[in-house]
Structure 1
């Protein structure tokens, strides 16, 4: 089979190569997938660029965790899927586990769900990593109650745009940060009740404007850096902050001073540590997301610049610049 691999770290145009590899063999808990599409997450280009060397599979490495495709073959323990099933999931692309940039890939069946009816492979490939991340944050960590004011940093981002929709499922009043009128229109369409242009309004200004200075019940930070610090300022006393990006050295004294509940989400832990219970949970989360998609309550936001596998270097360059709206998807 043809596979797109990296044999070193570096820029997209210097690293990706197409080579021939054997079709993967399966263990009892795996399925073989004919890959139809994948999407780019920041972890993918950070690994490729050498910024996360502790996470890279062995060279030649097949990157990308997100996959959608058709089951070709199943292992002896697999009962949930059979040949011909359209499936999706976040399957690897990290330490010792090949990803989706190949004609075929194998995956632990517990990480997968059947694809939602009514969407195509491109849309399905955009969901898994960001969907599970946003789900963990909104449904499991934030403990959102109906009517609460929820602020989401990064409204048109991969995680943020699904966070908006999940918060609306829980009947929250959703506020999303944007940086342009175009982004504001998109997040409104996704269900946000209010938009905040963080380049034009300070934290103090929008906290006063929307919460009478009290702060938001929940703040979900999907960007990190100064935005995480701002999250501590924007949340109310005894409120909740959830972040997906907490790798910086920051002052956490506001957590104590406001008696905050603070959570981080790192969705690849079950894959990294071969956590069977965690893998099953990922599959269960995807099945719930599938239901929400089929009910019309959730839809993935796809960047209009589509790419195919021959354009993988261009796709990585584009995603890395960070100007995309929603997910960058690659069709095979």
Structure 2
């Protein structure tokens, strides 16, 4: 099969099209999926630059997100049959035999969900990681309830635009940071109050929006200095969830004085720790999101697609920043 493989870490140029052996069903619960598209996420670029979680298993095929058609099933598979359209977030972290920048993938049926019927394969492939990340961050870590006010950083981004919608579905009010008038209109259409951080101090804007109280929950999808800068925008005894690793230089004094509850979200943990129960729970999130998408309550914004062979161009676009929504690779 054709795949995009990396034999070493480095610039986007290390992503090279190759002919590799197609994966084969190894257990009775495996399904073979002919991939139609693969999502591209910032974690892919980080693994490409800094090395995968399994550096001894190079060459590696990246890509956690995939969508395609079931082509073969193991002897004990009960949830799928040949011809089913599916999507999932699994593999792509450097482990041999996994990764979705390819024409085929083999995945345990317990980690796969039926694709939303209303989405194209490219849209579906762009969805799983951001759906799970936003769901866990808001609902599990942030304990979001109806009537609360939420700040989502980078609301026009991949995780951000999904987080806005999930918060609204829970009955929350949402404000979000953006950088351009076009992104402001985009998040308005999703039901969020835009705050252009290029033109105003976002903490002051949040406090004006909440009449000086601060939000009950803030969701940081940016990292760096943004985490610490957000502390005064969260009300006393509020929640702040981040999907980035806090900097060693972070001064936690204000967070402590405000008695903030800090949540750390890494949706890759179930895979990295081989936690079967948690991986099944993430599949259930995708199943619930499929229903929400097909009911019209949730949308995925696909910014652009690239042919599989152009994976390095897609990585360059992500690293350039300023993008709205998600990218995906499509297989011929």
Relative to the length of structure 2, the TM-score reads 0.95
Query: Are 2:158 and 1:131 aligned?
Result: no
Q: Which residue of 1 aligns with 2:237?
A: 238
Q: Which residue of 2 aligns with 1:300?
A: 300
Shift of 1:138: 1.4
Shift of 1:56: 4.8
CA distance in 2, matches of 1:116, 1:14: 33
SS at 1:306 equivalent:
strand
Q: Which residue of 2 aligns with 1:257?
A: 257
The structure 1 segments of at least 4 consecutive aligned residues displaced by more than 4 Å after TM superposition are none
Question: Would you say the 8 A contact 2:88–2:128 is kept in 1?
Answer: yes
CA distance in 1, matches of 2:109, 2:71: 13
Q: Which residue of 1 aligns with 2:63?
A: 64
Q: Which residue of 2 aligns with 1:218?
A: 217
Question: Would you say the 8 A contact 2:218–2:234 is kept in 1?
Answer: yes
Q: Which residue of 1 aligns with 2:157?
A: 157
More divergent stretch after superposition (22-31 vs 223-232): 22-31
Q: How many residues align?
A: 329
CA distance in 1, matches of 2:283, 2:21: 28
Cα 1:29/1:251, change in 2 over 3 Å: farther
Once the two structures are superposed, residues 19-54 of structure 1 have per-residue CA deviations (whole angstroms, 9 ceiling, x without a partner) of: 2323433312221100000111111111111x2443
Question: Would you say the 8 A contact 2:62–2:94 is kept in 1?
Answer: no
Question: Would you say the 8 A contact 1:95–1:272 is kept in 2?
Answer: no
Query: Are 2:100 and 1:96 aligned?
Result: no
Query: Are 2:199 and 1:200 aligned?
Result: yes
Relative to the length of structure 1, the TM-score reads 0.95
1:96-115 equivalences under 5 Å are 96-97=95-96, 98-115=98-115
Q: Structure 1 unaligned runs (5+)? A: none
CA distance in 1, matches of 2:152, 2:182: 17
Q: Which residue of 2 aligns with 1:166?
A: 166
Query: Are 2:11 and 1:3 aligned?
Result: no
Q: Structure 2 unaligned runs (5+)? A: none
CA distance in 2, matches of 1:176, 1:283: 28
Shift of 1:151: 0.5
Once the two structures are superposed, residues 258-309 of structure 1 have per-residue CA deviations (whole angstroms, 9 ceiling, x without a partner) of: 1111111100111111111011101100001111101111000111x32111
Question: Would you say the 8 A contact 2:60–2:94 is kept in 1?
Answer: no
Superposition RMSD on alpha carbons, in Å?
A: 1.5
